[in-house]
Amino acid sequence: MHSIPYNDTELLKRLASGDAVAYRELFVRHWDAVYSSALLLSRSPDIAEDIAQEVFVTLWEKRAQLAQVEKLDAYFFIMARNLLYSRLRKLASQDAYRQYLLDYQHETSHSGTEVRAEFRELESAIHAAIHRLPPQQQKAFRMSRFEGMGHEEIAHAMGLSRITIKSYIVQALATLRKLLAHYPGLFLLTIATLAHPC
């Protein structure tokens, strides 16, 4: 993928109007710095990867609001920091949440046919949403989530760079989150599990 001769301010203005090419250019330029900041803050490569992907998902979701951002590096750092703090706050109640899931599974294990029907509906909705992704995003996402391939393997198979594959998957996650946002909590839990970074 060739570099685009625009500065960050111009790219943000293009992104605000929905320019996916501008988004990918910002992703390529800033992924390493965002990941490094998240790693510095979290000291965990896995958490840093999660936080960096979340930063770029948020960038795409809030693109219409970003045309006025002047210092993108500072904006990314603050976003990464806030996402990490939010995650740490949630960890405080992790044990309670895990118990909730265990209780839910115990309750639903006795409701048989109705629960199986619900999960069939959820599975169908997931695949329908994935089918609505652009072809290249859909292919990369399926190879990642359903075939268990890493970014490097997908990049080789599709003849693209690893950073482009990362960009495709982040955009796919943002789109799926939007398409599936109206489903109840259990469904969002299912999507969160599906969308765990590889």
Q: Mind listing the pLDDT tens digit for each residue in 159-180?
A: 999 889 988 888 888 887 777 7
Residue type, 24: R
Share of the chain above pLDDT 90, in %: 8
Note the pTM of the prediction, 2 decimals. 0.54
Reported as a pLDDT band with limits 50, 70 and 90, residue 102 is: low
Q: What is the pLDDT of residue 120?
A: 66
Structure tokens at 75: 């904006």
Run of H or E including 157: helix 151-158
pLDDT for the residue numbered 135: 92
pLDDT for 140-154, tens place per residue? 988 887 777 888 899
Least confident range from 21-25, 118-122, 191-195: namely 191-195
Q: What's the CA dihedral at 122, 53, 87, 177 to 10 degrees?
A: -30
Domains of the chain, each with CATH number or no CATH:
8-91 (1.10.1740.10), 113-194 (1.10.10.10)
Distance CA 131, CA 35 (A): 29
